Amino acid sequence: MSNKINRIFSHVSPGDVIAFSGNGLDAKIIQWFTGSPYSHVAIVLETEYQNKQREDILIAESTTYTTLPDFKGQKPLKGFQVHLLSHWLDAYKACGQVWWFPLQQKLSYDRIAQMQSWLWHLNDGHTPFAVCKSIGAWLAQNKYFDAQTNIKLSKTSASLFCSELVTKALQVAGIIDLKLNPTTQTPKDLMSIPCFQEPTLILP
């Protein structure tokens, strides 16, 4: 990794968001529909694991557009998956730009543990990508959300799209209000929530 990326990695914390802006047709369609430079988002899951510290970062995401093997299952998945951010950046070099959005306030240990537990549960359950819900969010015509749903009981989420996943994870972590409907959140909506600092461009 470059010195620039290593410096950035040393400041990244669980709960921070990684936003992608792709150059491909699918990414451009998403950007056009949402009026946003961002076509995909992921959440920082862990910065310390397997007795390693700050050497790399695990991100959690829901996508159908990667052939990278899942960190835990060691095979490509469609839907929820976990990756080393360095692997994503290597694969994305010719595909677009990547930003780091730090949280305004770092998560406490208990909130990190709560969020990580929820995300690893989704990984164990091989939660699929929600194509219909993602289209609904882009068109602001979504009807899939039950307003009475308690986010703390949402471990049975049948399917999730990228910004819905990140929104729910930050609700589990106590950062985003539970009244916010995750299924209406596009990448643009999510990154406009005032819980983030100004972004830093990671790539290129």
- 137/184 Cα distance (integer angstroms): 5
Phi, psi of 171 (to 5 degrees): -70, -45
CA 198 – CA 196 distance, rounded (Å):
7
pLDDT tens digits for range 9-49: 999 999 999 999 988 888 888 788 778 899 999 999 999 87
pLDDT score of 141 more than 80: no
Q: Which residue has the higher pLDDT, 161 or 144?
A: 161
What is the average per-residue pLDDT within 60-83? 89
pLDDT at 127 over 50: yes
pLDDT digits (tens, 9 = 90+) for 143-160: 444 444 444 434 445 578
Write the CB contacts of 161 (distance below 8 Å, at least 6 apart in sequence).
62, 129, 130, 131, 133, 134, 137
Confidence of residue 67 (pLDDT cuts 50, 70, 90): confident
Q: What is the pLDDT of residue 158?
A: 57
In eight-state DSSP terms, residue 184 is G
Reported pTM: 0.84
pLDDT the model gives residue 31: 81
For the segment 180-190, the average pLDDT, to the nearest whole number, is 93
Tell me how far apart the alpha carbons of residues 106 and 12 are, in angstroms, rounded to a whole number: 10
Average pLDDT over all residues of the chain: 84
Compute the half-sphere exposure of residue 98: CA atoms within 13 Å on the CB side of its CA.
20
Task: Identify the band that residue 52 occupies on the pLDDT scale cut at 50, 70 and 90.
Answer: low
Question: Would you place residue 53 in the very low, low, confident or very high pLDDT band (cuts 50, 70, 90)?
Answer: low
Most confident range, picked from 34-38, 71-75, 186-190:
186-190
3-203 maps to CATH 3.90.1720.10: yes
Q: Which of 77-86, 94-103, 145-154 is least confident? A: 145-154
Which of the residue ranges 54-63, 80-89, 133-142 would you say has the lowest mean pLDDT?
Answer: 133-142
What the block records as the tokens of 129 is 């990508």
Q: What ranges do the domains of the chain cover? A: 3-203
Q: Which residue has the tokens 């399917």?
A: 159
